[in-house]
Structure 1
Amino acid sequence: MAKLGFRPLAASGTLLTAVGCLPPARVPVGGAYFGDLFFGCSCSGPGSGCTGGNPPASA
């Protein structure tokens, strides 16, 4: 973490979260979980984990 810093991790986490928000926005009425929601959930989960919840380095 000290070698790269927090900015690349936060930027990639924000990008993953944004990509994960796109598939659930287009779910059809008769949609299936795996085909329509699973990709979005699998992207936004790690993305939000990378964006927040990291303790400060001095802790």
Structure 2
Amino acid sequence: MKKQLYIYSVLVLAFIAYNQFFQVEDERTNDLINILFASFLFLYIGYMAYVLIQKLKKKQQDR
């Protein structure tokens, strides 16, 4: 699970860095990039939750 958390922290830092330093000048395109980036971050949170639930189920079955 640490691997997923490290990847998530890198993604969050990339999102912050983009918004601070690398924004596109066109406002609509910048909004689209922000929406896609944020959606991907939430999707990754869902993936981490799925992996955690699978690990918990496996642990319950092993008992």
Compute the TM-score of the two structures, normalised by the length of structure 1.
Answer: 0.48
Larger radius of gyration: 2
The structure whose residues are more often helix, as a share, is 2
